[in-house]
Amino acid sequence: MLHVNELTYHIEGRLLLDGASVAVPAGHKVGFVGRNGTGKTTLFKIILGEINTDGGSINVPASWRVGAIAQEAPGGPESLIDHVLSADTERDQLLTEAETQEDPSRIAEIHMRLADISAHTAPSRAATILAGLGFSEAAQQQPCGSLSGGWRMRVALAAALFSEPEVLLLDEPTNYLDLEGTIWLQNFLRNYRYTLIIISHDRDLLNTSVSSILHLDQKNLTLYQGNYDTFDRQRREQQALQLKMKKKQDDQRRHMQAFVDRFRYKASKARQAQSRLKALSKLEPVAAMAENQVAPFLFPAPKKILNPPLVRFEDAEVGYGDITVLRDLNMRLDPDDRIGLLGANGNGKSTFAKLLSGRLSVSAGSMRHHKKMDVGYFAQHQLDELDPGESPYDHIRARMRDSTEAQRRAKIGALGFGAHLADTKAGKLSGGEKARLLFAMASFAGPHLLILDEPTNHLDVDSREALIHAINDYEGAVILISHDRHLIETCADRLWLVNKGTIKPFEGDLDDYTKLILSAARAERKAAAAKAKGADVPDANGSDVEATPSEPETTVHNGIELTPQERRRAAADARAKVQPFKKKIQQIESKMQKLNEILSLIDTNLGDTGLYEKEPDKAQQLVLERGKAAKDLQDAETEWVEATEALEKAEAAVLAVQA
């Protein structure tokens, strides 16, 4: 078990942790959340022993290894696969010793230990992880130094995953991944066998890959059971209750103070006044839990609506010089389209975004669009292109030359930059603040088309929700390139797949796409395992890498030999048992949503303090109704957990038959 005991830490005079404590049981998967700048990364550094605390301690069992992504991206001539394999230091040391050791007894011990740690499967496991993170078999043999910074960080992530420490600390691991890599990582982390703590603002990752949420708030740590959605609901309920308690106490304090002020100098009431004065001094204040509100994002509507189609492609091609990246583009984009682009990094998503934004031109075919079409373009690399010496106000002033000082200040305030931030140099802004400035600049003129390339990388969970609201309120067309599944699911109406040098509509939802990605990952895994054994197998694209073994005549399942036909029939029967559980879970989730809506409505009514005086009977009835709805919700949640467990068992049965 990992213990954080009474931890206190200051940085530059600011208190980040104040007697913070938490215990994380062995094997737990924990999502670590909190506002940017509250100290999450600092706590990781303390656990890793990189910085010293002002007080308290970190206790980890002596035999446990604590691992994290290396801060420096790997470079140099070492190949990707060799770098990842070297992360298992024990295997490296044993293999080196085996080459020089002459003592037969020690040689035997070395080989026994190599067998215990499954050293013979290490190349296959390393290749599988690299493939899941987007590296082809050929790329895995390339030197680390040949990669760009983002791809090197993927290699560093692969090394951390491969080393399998007893405590794995991951700080925003999806920031350098595309959606495909994120889907693979979610599945990998869900099955990680040791303790895992992830700093992440990716809501989907926190809902699918962890079983607890660790919240850093007001310099303290609180561990919640369940995924992020469960934590978010519990936190909001606590905030509502805490705010009610604070209001009630403030009313009580004012009433007592008024009595003291009125009667403290009156002889007949002096004793009572003194008594209330003592009670007032002992009345511990209730801290309001509500966190700072996130300023909304604002995307102005287009000044003039254009007739459809906004853009039409006919047999278009685009690329760089003599290299064609995308061809056979035949599609149209309408003024109200919301499209999510799918496809692994390197397939051409950013090239297509540059084509739409006018940064590239078609090399063949045609791209027709309105002459008055205005395009707003946001890309994560633009954060580094901001002039570090100019403030947000300077950037907005350049776009409002004919406006008054008051108008400019009002505009910059509406964009979420208060008096202090408005005049802060861009070089001193946080990543999230720079992103907010770039959103404002990209959408300033009210574009007809807004292209957002990885817009959430530097935003916390609440800011991402604010961005979702802004996109959904925006009246123009949107192209989304993102690894944030929650963002795509809530904002995109259609999906286009960028693959094999072209773009086609994807007929399905993100669940279907997830299955496609995981199926390809399984094919890669089988290919890597078979290659390690020297067998010929087809790769994920269906072409033969080496010959695949023929299907066995019989398979043993639950002690019974099954023919291939019987195995397929058993798998079909097992899959049929999965559907009722899925349907039941959907029904329960619908019920839970309605109950949450009822509770929200009741809480809104109960929040009216005048209700208790004007209609006490109605207030009492609402309290009773709330109690019943809360109990029904609790029962539904229990039922949901049971149904989910049953679904997992049914799906495991399918996998067992198919294995």
C-alpha–C-alpha distance, residues 433 and 421, integer Å: 9
- Which pLDDT value is given to residue 339? 94
Domains of the chain: 311-389+425-507 (3.40.50.300), 515-549 (no CATH), 560-658 (1.10.287)
- Which pLDDT value is given to residue 349? 92
Per-residue pLDDT tens digits for 537-571: 444 444 333 333 333 444 444 444 445 555 555 55
Per-residue pLDDT tens digits for 370-393: 888 999 999 877 777 788 888 888
Q: DSSP states of 62-107 as a string?
A: TT--EEE--SSPP-SSSBHHHHHHTT-HHHHHHHHHHHH---HHHH
* Average pLDDT of the residues in 257-285: 59
DSSP state, 380? G
User: Does the pLDDT at position 652 exceed 80?
Assistant: no
- Which pLDDT value is given to residue 555? 45
Nearest to 495 by CA among 508, 482, 476: 508
If DSSP codes are grouped into helix, strand and coil, which group holds residue 344? coil
Average pLDDT in the chain: 81
Q: DSSP states of 383-421 as a string?
A: GGGS-TT--HHHHHHTT-TTS-HHHHHHHHHHTT--HHH
User: Does the pLDDT at position 158 exceed 90?
Assistant: yes
User: Does the pLDDT at position 414 exceed 50?
Assistant: yes
* Average pLDDT of the residues in 570-598: 75
User: Does the pLDDT at position 81 exceed 70?
Assistant: yes
- Which pLDDT value is given to residue 1? 80
Q: Widest CA span of the chain, in angstroms?
A: 103
Lowest mean pLDDT segment, chosen from 60-69, 137-146, 578-587: 578-587
- Which pLDDT value is given to residue 594? 84
What six digits make up the tokens of 34? 């909190």
- Which pLDDT value is given to residue 340? 94
Q: Are 504 and 524 in contact (CB under 8 A)?
A: no
User: Does the pLDDT at position 32 exceed 90?
Assistant: yes
What six digits make up the tokens of 507? 């007929």
User: Does the pLDDT at position 115 exceed 90?
Assistant: no
Per-residue pLDDT tens digits for 306-320: 888 999 999 999 999
Q: Are strands 195-199 and 2-11 parallel, antiparallel or unpaired?
A: unpaired
Lowest mean pLDDT segment, chosen from 365-369, 449-453, 553-557, 611-615: 553-557
* Average pLDDT of the residues in 277-300: 62
Residues 6 or more apart in contact with residue 482 via CB below 8 angstroms: 179, 340, 452, 454, 455, 456, 488
- Which pLDDT value is given to residue 542? 40
User: Does the pLDDT at position 345 exceed 90?
Assistant: no
Per-residue pLDDT tens digits for 207-257: 989 999 999 988 999 999 999 988 888 887 776 776 666 666 666 667 667
What global pTM score does this model have? 0.66
User: Does the pLDDT at position 644 exceed 80?
Assistant: no
User: Does the pLDDT at position 510 exceed 50?
Assistant: yes
Name the amino acid, one letter, at 71.
Answer: Q
